[in-house]
Amino acid sequence: MAEFNNAVKEVNVESVKASQRTSKIIRYTITYLFLGIMAIIVIFPFYWMIISSFKTMDEYRANVPTLWPQNFVFENFTTAFSKANLLDLFKHTLYVGLVSTVLSLIVTILSAFAFARLNFKGKNLVFGLLMATMMVPGELYTITNYLTVSGRLPFISEPVEAFDITNTFAVLIFPMLVSVFYIYLLRQTFMQIPNELYLAAKVDGTSDFKYLWKVMLPLSVSTIITITILKMMGAWNAYIWPRLVANDAAHQLITNGLRGASFTDEFGETNYPAQMAAVTIVSIPLFLVFVFLRKYIMRGVSRSGIKG
């Protein structure tokens, strides 16, 4: 990006204009070249995933990996589909995804607002505590949380049946609802909004809630959409926890359904091409959601541009 600065000090107006044009062309060339190369690097594994889903197991196991399937087989997709009751799986996943996204957004917005705009005793302590929860490997949480939702509570030796919420939708939604990452992200965005606006609103007698709803949220649309996408994706890709707590037919989510149906072959070995096919199937709706929501990101940005 450095090249375009050199020629600026020419005296002649004509040559300044000409050199500006050249530097602009050079700049764009470099920008596109850079983006193009990065794009190829970034896209390659995605490409690989898709072509692998069309390969036979034999070709997948071949010593020299092929960049293009020798012959396309669609069998992996039918394998991935055949046993799983796909409609139900989609329904469950959509339900859990939507409910947990909406609830999570509410919780995240409220907390981020408190951390960004309100002053209260122990703010730093609570925020520090929140950050601390991110630092422990998730697997350790899983065991304790599993005991909790199974009704094994601290200080009580016998499991409490009433607290056993395994095999419900609630157990898929609530333990994962609060993400400190999202609270942190939104807090950062909120803190960018000039304080003057808030003070002005206070002077006008606008309530905190109204201010949050009318001013802060519209200004943070893009971050909120980012969070929505991430949360939806989380629900979509969740695997270990749902398998543990709600793997019955009435609550099974898509990733579990597909995995359980097809990912091991008759020797108990992983059938990678079928797995790739399943991952591809699972990825497509996510990808579409992103393509669809991207417009809203743009809209949110332009809107915030007008008001800010």
Partner 1 sequence: MKKFIALMLLVCMLVCGFLTACNNNSDNNPDDTGSQGSKTSHTVPTGDVTVTFYHTMGKNLSDVLVKYIAEFNKVYPNITIDHQTIGGYDDVRDQVITELQAGKQPALAYCYPDHVATYLRSKKVVDLNEYINDETVGLTQAQIDDFIAGYYAEGQQFGDTSKMYSLPFSKSTEVMYYNKTFFDNNGLKVPDHWFSASANDETSLEYVIKKIKEIEPTSIPLGYDSEANWFITMTEQLKTPYTQAVDKVQDRFLFNNEKNIEFCEKFRSWCQNGLMTTQAIYGGYTSGLFTNTTANEEGKVIHSYISIGSSAGATYQCPAKSDDGSYPFEVGIATIPQADASNKKVISQGPSITMLKQKDQTVNDAAWIFLKFLLTSPEFQAEFSMASGYVPVLKSAFELDAYKEFLSGANMTKDGIAALSAKICMEQESAYFTSPAFIGSSDARDEVGKLLVAYISAASTATQDELKKLFVDAYNRCVTLNQ
Partner 2 sequence: MNNAVTIKKQKKPKAVKDNFESSSNFKAWLYLSPALILLIIFSFYPLINTFRMAFLNGYNGLAIVGGEKFTIGIENFKTVINYVDFKLCLKNTLLLCVVTVPISTTLALLIAVALNSIKPLQKFLQTVFFLPYVTNSIAIGMVFNAMFTRVGLGDLIQTQGIINNIIGIFGIEPINFVNVGSSWGANMFVVCTYIIWNAIPFKILVLLGGLQNVNKQYYEAAKIDGTSKIRTFFRITIPLVSPMLAYVIITSFIGGFKEYSSIVGIFGDGMGPGSNGQMNTLVGYVYNMLPKSNSGNASAASLILFGIILIVTAINGYVSKKKVHY
Footprint on residues 157-216 left by partner 1 (CB under 8 A): 157, 159, 166
Please list, residue by residue across 152-178, b when 16 or more beta carbons sit within 10 angstroms of its beta carbon and e when fewer do. Answer: beeeeeeeeeeeebbbbbbbbbebbeb
Q: How far is CA 212 from CA 84, 112, 128, 154, in A?
A: 44, 11, 24, 38
The verdict on 260 binding partner 1 (CB under 8 A) reads yes
Using CB under 8 A as the binding rule, the residues of this chain from 61 to 80 that contact partner 1 are 61-64, 79
In whole angstroms, how close is the CB of 271 to partner 1 at the nearest point?
A: 7
Which of the 8 DSSP states describes residue 212?
I
CB 274 within 8 A of CB 55: no
Binding segment (CB under 8 A) for partner 1, from list 144-152, 193-201, 225-233, 285-293? 144-152
Angle between helices 180-192 and 221-237 (to 10 degrees): 170
The verdict on 129 binding partner 1 (CB under 8 A) reads yes
Give the nearer residue to partner 2 in terms of CB position, either 73 or 114. Answer: 114
Give the nearer residue to partner 2 in terms of CB position, either 133 or 249. Answer: 133
Rounded to an integer, what distance in angstroms lies between the CA atom of residue 187 and that of residue 226? 14
In whole angstroms, how close is the CB of 135 to partner 2 at the nearest point?
A: 4
Query: From the list partner 1, partner 2, none, which binds 18 (C-beta under 5 to 8 Å, kind-based)?
Result: none
Gap between the terminal Cα atoms of the chain: 30
The verdict on 271 binding partner 1 (CB under 8 A) reads yes
Query: From the list partner 1, partner 2, none, which binds 31 (C-beta under 5 to 8 Å, kind-based)?
Result: partner 2
Rounded to a whole number of angstroms, the CA Rg of the chain reads 26
Which tokens go with 210? 């109204």
Residues near partner 1, by CB under 8 A: 58, 61-64, 79, 82-83, 124-125, 127-129, 132, 142-143, 146-147, 150, 152, 154-157, 159, 166, 243-244, 247, 259-271
